Amino acid sequence: MSDLDTIDIAILSTLQTEGRISNAALAERVGLSASACSRRLDILERTGVINGYHARVSHKALDYRMIAIVHISLSGQFAKTLAEFESAVKRCPNVLVCYLMSGEYDYVLRIAARDLEDYERIHRDWLSALPHVVKINSSFALREVIDRPNVGLS
């Protein structure tokens, strides 16, 4: 954040809430010409500050009504073991998020499922088949309280 100035922060804040805003409207909002705003955006994209644009699609609208939080323990934390697990977990289409963790479990996953029967299928066909897994602990979200797509900017 130290390399970002107030205009960069204003651009990012606007894009986080209005991702489809035109360059002209964005430029006007942050007090730049359209060409200067476009150059700023290009720099923010090239340097990885902005790492993509996408639509946030409702899981419920697609009939994925269940979210499972899954803790996974592996047989070890050797580089090859982690790489093989990570390569395999990336192929599971229901895994929304996967984190390598410190602490009791090696990985935490957030998984979307249509219902309990669908989760059973995901567990059987995908999670249990992941390489080096020795323990799977699943919890089910009862209600979403917050799902913030971005961190606050100041």
Q: How many CB atoms lie within 10 A of CB 76?
A: 11
**How many separate domains does the chain show?**
2
Residues 39 and 95 in one domain: no
Angle at Cα 91 formed by Cα 110 and Cα 87, nearest 5°?
95
Q: What is this structure's pTM? A: 0.82
Instruction: Go through 94-116 and write b for each residue having 16 or more CB atoms within 10 A of its CB, e for each that does not.
Output: bbeebeeeeeebbbbbebbbbee
What string of pLDDT tens digits covers the 154 residues of the chain? 568 999 999 999 999 989 999 999 999 999 999 999 999 999 999 999 999 888 888 899 999 999 999 999 999 999 999 999 999 999 999 999 999 999 999 999 999 999 999 999 999 999 999 999 999 999 999 999 998 888 877 6
Q: Give domain status of residue 104, yes or no.
A: yes
Q: Which helix (H) or strand (E) holds 90?
A: none
Contact 118/66 with Cβ under 8 angstroms? yes
Q: Are residues 80 and 134 in the same domain?
A: yes
